[in-house]
Structure 1
Amino acid sequence: MHARTIDSLALDSYQRAARVVLANHLITRNYPDRIALPLIRRWATELREDLAELFGYRLEVTETTARLFPVLDQLDPGRPARTTADRLFDRRRYAYLALALAALGRAGDQITLSELAAQVASYTERVDGLDLASDRAADRDAFVDAVGWLAARGAVTLADGDAGGWASDPEAGEALYDIDRSVVFALFRPPRALQHLQSVGGLLGEEAGGGDTRSPALALASRSVRRALVEQPVVYIDDLAEPHRSLLGQEKLVHEVELVTGLRAERRAEGVALIDSSGRLSDVRFPGTGTLAQVALLLAGEIADLVLDLDAPVARIPRPEVPIADLVEQLDSAIPSATVFAPLADPFDIFATEEDSERQEQEPDIPEYPFIGADWIRDTVQMLAKRYGATFAAQWQADVPGLTTEVISLLERLRLVESVNSPELGAGLIILPALARYRGAIVTIRTRSESELFISPGDVGEPDAAPALVSSEKGSGN
């Protein structure tokens, strides 16, 4: 592993490059910033070999792009694409994005937005249930969001005009884009030919080879555990089966990930989490600024106090199985069977092994976790809104139910809670162990008097005229 031999003065630069490529997967001249690509190119050889050895990832670096091809061990519905305004992509936007990529791959050096829309509209005629009508504002907005996602990554660059003008009135507005073909070709590179797949499961897992030839199964398991450490906020030992549990407990394996990423691993009996104080690997900083992050921290503190109250123990239930199979079935149902090349199609998951079958037949101990009902969660967020509501962003002051939903969603993304619907106890949250690290939240409310325009740095007290909530927790954040 090259990271062991890099001089200590240069190691920080190497680790920053590793964090950037692990966080973004695609790096271009301007994405995620102008310094990222030169940094990756400097360490291209070392990164290519270390990422392949430790994680099974493939890194391709050219003069204009760096593309990491990760290995997915499972589907993750918690990482959707987002628009430039931070709205989630829906199925229509995903479809427009894929079809726009296909059109750009056949285009020249420039294309107008209306020409690209016309080409995508012609492609939608071949897809049942999908169309792009330029006279419908919703279709235009979705299409512009897809093009904006491509523009943010440098696949297209606005040369003239305004996409917003076209979205408002396609007869009066227009936009001209320069096409960066190297970025277009780097964006869509599936690990296997999609025409040979009858299930999305064929895109998951890692084929044997490229690891320790003396024990290929152990090498695959080791890389899977390392991938989990850099891809998940927390890796819980109860989520793993042997030999992954034993590997997670090995200090050497975790240290290798620390050395490459420059992050610090926090080990507990329940699992391991990498603490990213740099902010260059995490897609969500927590604790953080903003109403959602602050209310989530306050709610986590209230939950921890409730769970740790020995005088009023809460109910405990086992975690239900994650319905990944349902997600696979939904995605598989959308595969157009007419495009599958039957002679080379795989009727089952090619990565399934006899070891997996034996593991499924085992009946391990099922741990139980604290359960808190949905009513308590709603009442607690309502209490926080009454106490600190004047400090919230305007949109959440008038929508406490919506705030509750978004805060729970954030805590779920961080793997601190899980939403469940228990047959005996009803809807609520299962509280996962990592939430306890955010207990003891400290709240400070800064205020200004009516005669002041700004808050003085030392002013702390009860809210009166224009309060601002400042939350912190004991210890460092993710």
Structure 2
Amino acid sequence: MHARSIDSLALDSYQRAARVILANHLVTRTYPDRIALPLLRRWATELREDLAELFGYRLEVTETTARLFPVLDRLDAGRPARTTGDRLFDRRRYAYLALALAALGRAGDQITLSELADQVGAYTERVEGLDLAPDRAADRDAFVDAVGWLAARGAVTLADGDAGGWASDPEAGEALYDIDRSVVFALFRPPRALQHLRSVTGLLGEEAGGSDTRSPAMALAAREVRRALVERPVVYADELDEPQRSLLAQEKLVAEVESLTGLRAERRAEGVALIDSSGRLSDVRFPGTGTLAQVALLLAGEIADLVLDIDNPVERRPRPDRPLLDLVEQLDTAIPSNSVFAPLADPMDVFGPQEDSDVQAAESEIPDFPFLESSWIRDTVQMLTDRYGNTFAAQWQADVPGLTAEAVSLLERLRLVELVDGGLLILPALARYRGAIVTIRTRAETELFISPTQLGANTVPADSSIAPAESSTEKGSGN
């Protein structure tokens, strides 16, 4: 492992490079910034070997791009693509994005937005239930969001015009884009030919080897644990099988990830989390600024106070066993059967034998977690709104149900709670955020406008059962 032999004066640079590529997976001359690619090119050889050894990842670095090809151990619905305005992509935007990539791969050096829309519109005619009609504002907005996602990563660069003008009136507005073909080709490089897959789960599993001297099974388990550490905000031991739990408890394995990333691991009885104080491996900073982050923190504090009150114990329930089969089924139903090349297609039984895992689950003790009803969550957010609502963003002051849903979604994304039927299961990591202290800055008489940061919610981590990272993946969009 090169991280152990790099000079201490250069180690910080190496660790920053590792965090950048783990967080973004794709790095171009402008994305995520202009210094990222030169940094990665400096450490390309060492990173390539360390990422393969520790995680089984493959790294390709060229003059214009750096692309990390990760190994997926499970499907994760919590990393959606987002628009430049931070709105989640819907199915239509994902479809336009995929079709735009296909069109750009066949284009020249430049293309206008209307030409690209015409090509994508022609492709949609082959997809049942999908179309792109330039005369519909909703279609134009969704298409511009997909192109904006590509532009943010450098696949296309605006040379002239304005995409917003075309979205408002395609007859009067237009935009001309330069195409960076190297970025276009780097964006979509599946590890296997999609025409050979009958199920999306064919994209899961180990891809690259490493130099681990242990048995193949233990080496694979070790890489899975390391991947979990950098991809999940918190790695709970009860989510792992027995070999993985034993590996997670080893100081050496966690120390290897610390050496590569420069992050600090916090251990508790329930699991391990990497704390990302640098913010370079996190797609979500928590605690953070803004109404949603601060309401989520206040809600976490109220939940922790209730759950930890020994005089009024709350109901406890086991965590449901949900291997994301529903997500697999949803994705598999979108695969056109006529596009699968049957002679080389994988069988559908990609999960392997299930009996052993079922036996292990039956033999192991199933932990239970505090459960809070949805009505209590709604009432608590309403109470917080009544108390501090005049400091919230205007859109949330008038939409308490929406504020509740978004705050809970943020806590779930950070793996502090789990949404179940009728309410929330409270996961151990949330205890770190008990004791939230609110300070409200009042407006001075000399101030003309109200500051958007009047409400400040802070917390002092207590001796909780586990301390979570500020979401240690980044992957923010489209990885």
Q: TM-score range by the shorter chain?
A: over 0.9
Instruction: Report the counterpart of residue 304 of structure 2 in structure 1.
Output: 304
Instruction: Report the counterpart of residue 157 of structure 2 in structure 1.
Output: 157
Give the alignment's TM-score, normalised by structure 2: 0.94
What is the Cα deviation at residue 365 of structure 1? 1.0
Instruction: Report the counterpart of residue 476 of structure 2 in structure 1.
Output: none
Instruction: Report the counterpart of residue 262 of structure 2 in structure 1.
Output: 262
Residue correspondence of structure 1 range 232-243 to structure 2 within 5 A? 232-243=232-243
Look up the equivalent residue of 1:99 and give its one-letter code. Answer: L
What is the Cα deviation at residue 357 of structure 1? 4.2
Whether contact under 8 Å (1:317, 1:369) holds in the other structure is yes
What is the Cα deviation at residue 159 of structure 1? 0.4
Whether contact under 8 Å (1:418, 1:432) holds in the other structure is yes
Whether contact under 8 Å (1:447, 1:466) holds in the other structure is no
1:253-295 Cα deviation digits (max 9, x unpaired):
0000011000000100000000000000010000000011111
Look up the equivalent residue of 1:360 and give its one-letter code. Answer: D
Aligned length: 462
What is the Cα deviation at residue 347 of structure 1? 1.1
Instruction: Report the counterpart of residue 147 of structure 2 in structure 1.
Output: 147
What is the Cα deviation at residue 219 of structure 1? 0.7
Structure 2 distance, partners of 1:300, 1:383, is 14
1:150-183 Cα deviation digits (max 9, x unpaired):
0000000000111111111111111110000000
Instruction: Report the counterpart of residue 395 of structure 1 in structure 2.
Output: 395
Look up the equivalent residue of 2:346 and give its one-letter code. Answer: D
Instruction: Report the counterpart of residue 192 of structure 1 in structure 2.
Output: 192
Instruction: Report the counterpart of residue 425 of structure 2 in structure 1.
Output: 430
Which of 443, 446, 457 is matched with 2:441 structurally? 446
SS state of the match for residue 68, structure 2? Answer: strand
What is the Cα deviation at residue 361 of structure 1? 2.5
What is the Cα deviation at residue 210 of structure 1? 3.7
| Stretch deviating more after TM superposition (162-171 or 148-157) | 162-171
Whether contact under 8 Å (2:196, 2:345) holds in the other structure is yes
Structure 2 distance, partners of 1:207, 1:353, is 17
1:227-277 Cα deviation digits (max 9, x unpaired):
000000000001111211111111100000011000000100000000000
SS state of the match for residue 390, structure 2? Answer: helix
Instruction: Report the counterpart of residue 460 of structure 1 in structure 2.
Output: none
Higher relative contact order (CA 8 A, sep 6+): 2
Residue correspondence of structure 1 range 83-162 to structure 2 within 5 A? 83-162=83-162
What is the Cα deviation at residue 448 of structure 1? 2.6
Is 1:469 aligned to residue 455 of structure 2? yes
Identity of aligned residues (%): 82
Pick closer, same or farther for the CA change 1:358–1:207 going to 2, 3 Å: farther
Is 1:359 aligned to residue 357 of structure 2? yes
Structure 2 distance, partners of 1:229, 1:381, is 32
In structure 2, stretches of 5+ residues that fail to align are: 462-466, 471-479
Pick closer, same or farther for the CA change 1:125–1:250 going to 2, 3 Å: same
Whether contact under 8 Å (1:166, 1:173) holds in the other structure is yes
What is the Cα deviation at residue 452 of structure 1? 4.2
Is 1:318 aligned to residue 304 of structure 2? no
Whether contact under 8 Å (1:201, 1:349) holds in the other structure is no
Structure 2 distance, partners of 1:449, 1:98, is 51
Structure 2 distance, partners of 1:227, 1:177, is 37
What is the Cα deviation at residue 440 of structure 1? 0.8
SS state of the match for residue 11, structure 1? Answer: helix
Instruction: Report the counterpart of residue 280 of structure 1 in structure 2.
Output: 280
Give the alignment's TM-score, normalised by structure 1: 0.94
SS state of the match for residue 369, structure 1? Answer: strand
What is the Cα deviation at residue 359 of structure 1? 2.4
SS state of the match for residue 243, structure 1? Answer: helix
Structure 1 distance, partners of 2:443, 2:168, is 42
Look up the equivalent residue of 1:255 and give its one-letter code. Answer: A
Pick closer, same or farther for the CA change 1:58–1:207 going to 2, 3 Å: closer
Pick closer, same or farther for the CA change 1:208–1:3 going to 2, 3 Å: closer
Is 1:253 aligned to residue 248 of structure 2? no
Look up the equivalent residue of 1:437 and give its one-letter code. Answer: R
| Stretch deviating more after TM superposition (116-125 or 194-203) | 116-125
Alpha-carbon RMSD across the aligned residues, in angstroms, is: 1.7
Pick closer, same or farther for the CA change 1:287–1:254 going to 2, 3 Å: same
Is 1:43 aligned to residue 38 of structure 2? no
What is the Cα deviation at residue 358 of structure 1? 1.6
Look up the equivalent residue of 2:130 and give its one-letter code. Answer: L
Whether contact under 8 Å (1:209, 1:216) holds in the other structure is no
Whether contact under 8 Å (2:393, 2:452) holds in the other structure is no
What is the Cα deviation at residue 51 of structure 1? 0.5
Pick closer, same or farther for the CA change 1:5–1:467 going to 2, 3 Å: closer
Is 1:369 aligned to residue 369 of structure 2? yes
Pick closer, same or farther for the CA change 1:326–1:315 going to 2, 3 Å: same
